[in-house]
Structure 1
Amino acid sequence: MPEIVAIDTPSLGDRSYLVHDGEVAFVVDPQRDIDRVLSLLEDRGVRLEHVFETHVHNDYVTGGLALARAAGAVYHVNAADQVAFEYTPIEPGDEVAVGSAMRVRAMDTPGHTFTHLAYVLEAPDETPAVFTGGSLLFGSTGRPDLLGPAHTGELVHAQYASAQRLAAELPDETRIYPTHGFGSFCASTPTQGEESTIGREKRINPALTRDERSYVDELLSGLDAYPAYYAHMGPANAAGPDAPDLTPPQRAEADELRRRIEAGEWVVDLRHRTAFAAGHVGGSLNFGLDLNFATYLGWLIPWGTPLTLLGETAEQVAEAQRELVRIGIDRLEAAATGSPREWAGGRPLGSFPTARFGDLAQVRHHRPVVVLDVRRNQEWHTRHIEGAVHIPLHELLERLPEVPDGEVWVHCHSGYRASIAASVLAAAGRQVVAVDDDYDEASSVGLPMAEGRAILS
């Protein structure tokens, strides 16, 4: 019986898969940090023979080429893909034997990209499995707009047809193993559950329960912004990325940190948002490691800006470095570990208050404050605090002059994005309060709510 091992990358909402029969193995859609895969191969005592890519990814840098080279495996990429490296082309309908009993068959499933493939795993007396990449997800499908608006219309119809093809050609008991859909911005709508089958998808997936027009209309109306770094992932993957260099960056002392901040470089504090608010190096920015660190840092940072990390421990810096190489940020200028007082070198620390929505409700009765909502457009349109200013976090750096004068209370849905925004505002010299609270509390404490378009659009 083949064992299918999911290799989670929760910070990017993705899964890679290692499949083996006890002797030989194949891998689908490996992430950049291939040491995780090599460790699994060693632990299970199996030999990697094949690496399969479902598509040229838009949300992370692949480890496929580097893994195949490191393990001496065959690297399968769609024959129609235009890439700059040598690989073994595979086409829809091709079958690859892995070991003595496993067979992998490629299926044409365009929609997320034009050349997207799914891979069906079959073995004697076993339930089939299909690795669907960014095609059929758990209760959803991959988004069709990542190649640009000129292609979205064609791809969304192709995505519907691909889902229908998978459902028509595979048995209901077929297990589904998607790459995207665990919080990834590559999913067109939120996914449902942690496992699924073709039969389950026939009951819950809009691409299989609705007619084509209603599926297309609903999907397109629900699309929102996706991270800016996606624009760099496709070209990086087509060029053939090497294995990442995870050598620790050089250590920076307090004077160097100050010079880098004053030069306009990014110095990023990895600590939790409450610790950052209580005391931090003036001018540093807060992207905590506790949530979608790489997604939001990659989204906001002007691509190519020199980057230095601040962490409490070397392990924290190493974790952040690993996250960053997955999206192609390979070079760190420096890093420092310890405490904010050490990093500041005797200079006064910056700080700002944190609060809850109940505090905001009370304050608005006594004095005027600016309420800044940094959630995405879809979140804003669903419901927002009456009188708030709306600037999505990913637009804040360019739209700072639009933030009205005065004391700014910034919020998101949970506090993570609000802390990033608060650090940006504080670095710009603004008086800021970070609302660290669940957005569902806003209406329960009496804050008036509204629906409609943004005050600042």
Structure 2
Amino acid sequence: MFFVETLATEGLGNHSYLAGGRTAAVAVDPPRDFDRVVAAAARRGVRTVLVVETHVHNDYVTGGLELARVTGARYLVPAAADVSYDRVPVADGDVHEVEPGITLRAVATPGHTPHHTSYVLQEDGAPVAAFTGGSLLIGTVGRPDLVEPRLTEQLARAQHASAHRLAELPDEVQVLPTHGFGSFCSSSQAEGGASSTVGREKKSNEALLKGVDDFVADLLSGLDDIPAYYTHMGPANAAGPAPLDLTPPRTADAHEIARRLDAGEWVVDLRNRVAFSEGHVAGAFNFELEGQLATYLAWLIPWGKPVTLLAETPGQIAEAQRELARVGIERPAAAATGGPADWTAGGREPRSFPRADFAALAAFLERGGKPVVLDVRRAAERASGHVAGSVHIPIHQLHRRIAEVPEGTVWVHCAGGMRAAIAASLLDAAGRSVVAIDDGFDSAQAAGLTVTD
């Protein structure tokens, strides 16, 4: 009897999989911290004999190469992928045995990348699950614009054809994508849970319900900004990532933290936004550990700039280090635990700023207040409605565009509060007076604010 175990990397919106039978297994699109895969295999008492990649990933650093080395598994990578290491090249139709009765069949599904390959898990020759990577996702497909702008339309058309090819599988076959759970590799953020079937996708997936021309037009018109760090992921994966080093970073005292800030390095406070607003090291930035730390820090930080992490406990530092390594931020320059009093050198005082909701903003306006309202959502989010008169600078552009924010106290908001907290910390570090709106945008109109499309 076959099994499939899902390993979620929620901060990046990705799933990896371990699948197999009684004694052996295959790991699909493993994360950089592949120890989770090893632990899952150990719990089940199976040996990992195959490690497979659906494509050269653009959104995270793979653990596949090192997992294959550690376990002795065969490392399967699409034959057309341009990589610098030894692997088993996979072509359309290739079949590899996991154990007697359990096989894996490669299906060429270009679109997310030119070489993208899905894998169909077969039990006694019958397909039971399809690992679709960045091809057929739940309700949508993977983005076609991450490789080369001139190929985008061609790859969008290939996505449509690949989705229809996968739809030829029996209706009961599980659809198990790598992307699409909040990942920016998804062309749209469809809802529908963590798993699906071919039959369900036939009834709901936009690629299977539209003709190719309408599908391509809608797909291309809906593409949003790409995280800046994606530029570095493909080359790192093609070259072959180095072994992961999760040993603790050096400990920084308050004077070293001050020196690093004065040198223009990034000091990142991982505490929740409430604690940060109430007191923090002047100049530090707030990226909550509970939020999408890896995605947003890697997107905003100038690539290669040293980062020092601040948290309440060593465990939180270790968790953050693991998350950041998944996107190629290999080693924090330093770290410190405790609180603002421990991190602030003599002669310097912790800073703070207020938090509010949209009702408080509406009340302030009614009293004649003249705030600068800053919307840091993405353009696609703002298009569905925004506070009248608000300034729009997406969070991933704010660090280099702070000079464009008008003078005055800045009331900053996003869709739910996390990105507003990051933005508030950026503005506060730049010496601006700021109020972080920690509220859902759905509350804006209910609070009496004028929301326009």
User: Aligning the two structures, in what range does the TM-score lie when normalised by the shorter sequence?
Assistant: over 0.9
- Residue in 1 that maps onto 2:170: 171
Aligned partner of residue 136 in structure 1, secondary structure: coil
2:189 matched residue in structure 1: 190
Report the Cα offset of residue 125 of structure 1.
8.1
Alignment correspondent of 1:455: none
User: CA contact under 8 A between 1:63 and 1:242: conserved in structure 2?
Assistant: no
Is the partner of 2:383 in helix, strand or coil? helix
The letter of the residue matching 2:245 is: D
What's the secondary structure of 1:6's corresponding residue? strand
Q: Deviations over 1:116-173 (max 9, x none)?
A: 00001111286621000000011110011111321111110000010011112x1111
Q: What is the CA distance between 1:330 and its match in structure 2?
A: 0.4
Number of residue pairs the alignment of both structures matches? 450
TM-score (norm 2): 0.98
Matches within 5 A, 1:22-37: 22-37=22-37
Q: Within 5 A, what are the aligned runs for 1:50-129?
A: 50-124=50-124, 128-129=128-129
Mapped to 2, the partners of 1:263 and 1:431 lie a distance apart of: 23
- Using the alignment, how far apart are the partners of 2:127 and 2:236 within structure 1? 36
Residue 394 of structure 2 corresponds to 392
The alpha carbon displacement at 1:345 in A equals 3.2
- Structure 1 segment 5-20 matched on structure 2, within 5 A: 5-20=5-20
The residue that corresponds to 2:283 in the other structure is 283
Tell me if structure 2 keeps the 8 A contact 1:127–1:175. Answer: no
Distance between the aligned counterparts of 2:345 and 2:141, measured in 1? Answer: 51
Gaps spanning 5+ residues in structure 1: where? 452-457
Match of 2:20, as an amino acid? H
Rounded to whole Å, the distance in 1 between the matches of 2:258 and 2:129 is 54
CA distance, structure 2, for counterparts of residue 295 and residue 402 of structure 1: 24
Partner of 1:360: 361
Q: Does the residue aligned with 2:449 lie in a helix, a strand or coil? A: coil
Aligned residues with identical type, % of pairs: 55
Asked whether the equivalents of residues 127 and 173 of structure 1 are also in contact (C-alpha less than 8 Å), the reply is no
AA at the equivalent of 2:170: P
Q: Report matched runs for 1:160-309 at 5 Å.
A: 160-168=160-168, 170-191=169-190, 192-309=192-309
Hey, what's the Cα distance between the residues in 1 that align with 2:107 and 2:126? 19
Query: CA contact under 8 A between 2:144 and 2:159: conserved in structure 1?
Result: yes
Q: Which of 427, 430, 438 does residue 429 from structure 2 map onto?
A: 427
2:167 match: secondary structure: helix
Following superposition, the deviation at residue 331 of structure 1 comes to 1.7
Residue 374 (1) aligns with residue 373 (2): no
> What is the distance in 2 between the residues matched to 1:243 and 1:39?
18
Q: Which amino acid aligns with 2:360?
A: D
Query: Which residue is equivalent to 2:331?
Result: 331
Residue of structure 1 equivalent to 2:385: 383
* TM-score in terms of structure 1 length: 0.97
Partners of 2:126 and 2:207 in 1: how far apart?
27
Structure 2 residue 36 is the aligned partner of structure 1 residue 39: no
Partner residue in 2 for 1:341: 341
Contact 2:120 2:127 in 1 (8 A): no
* Structure 1: distance between partners of 2:258 and 2:4: 49
Check conservation: 1:34, 1:243, Cα contact below 8 A.
Answer: no
Aligned mates of 1:433, 1:85 — CA distance in 2: 50
In the other structure, the counterpart of 1:415 is: 417
Tell me the distance in 2 between the aligned counterparts of 1:17 and 1:437. 35
Match of 2:258, SS state, is: helix
Q: Distance in 2 between matches of 1:382 and 1:219?
A: 17
Structure 2 unaligned blocks of 5 or more:
none
Label 1:145 to 1:125 Cα distance change in 2 as closer, same or farther (>3 A).
closer
